Amino acid sequence: MEMDAGWLKDHVRDIPDFPKSGVTFKDITPLLGNEEAFRFSIDALVAAFEGGSVDRVLGIEARGFILAAPVAYRLGAGFVPVRKAGKLPWEVEKEEYVLEYGTDLLEIHGDAVQPGERVLIIDDVLATGGTAAATIRLVEKLGGEVAAIGFALELAFLDGRSRLGGHHVTSLLTYE
């Protein structure tokens, strides 16, 4: 289902040179703080995925949590956090992802997804796709099936979509 989400751009703030020079950070806190923009964003993500059966919705730390939790609630699915290294208290699976200088780790609890379960992955921004690609690998390590991946924003000029293995990807706002 297509929804015209273009007006949401009025609620995304561009922060030049954050967190470092040359990067324009897309600040979604105005979108989260506006009742209409927040509700519309959750409803649009739910509408994009409510046709397919989803057992779990994975949110990627930290802004992904904010979107994934209400989407999970609305879809009648469980919520699962994917976190940066060392934050989860129990047994974890890990996957490395590439940062501009070096690598970092994403972790998921080993029992957070059961074999055969259908998983929807949610994050706020698709940039190079490295974070989402590592999350796909975590789901597959646990024997889950990636049903789809959803973002509020997609920085299409970074071509992150091409790193997501042909999975079904939906983003509410695209920046060319």
Q: Which residues bind ligand AMP (CB under 6 A)?
A: 23-26, 60, 63, 123-131, 160
163 is an active site residue = no
35 is an active site residue = no
CB nearer to ligand AMP: give 82 or 112: 82
User: At closest approach, how far in Å is the CB of 68 from ligand AMP?
Assistant: 12
Task: Render 18-85 in DSSP notation, one character per residue.
Answer: -SSTT-EEEE-HHHHHSHHHHHHHHHHHHHHHTTS--SEEEEETTHHHHHHHHHHHHHT-EEEEEEET
User: At closest approach, how far in Å is the CB of 14 from ligand AMP?
Assistant: 9
Q: Which amino acid is at 128?
A: T
Distance CA 126, CA 153 (A): 6
CB nearer to ligand AMP: give 14 or 36: 14
Q: From the candidates 2, 35, 100, 176, give the one annotated as an active-site residue.
A: 100
Q: What amino acid positions are annotated as catalytic residues?
A: 63, 100
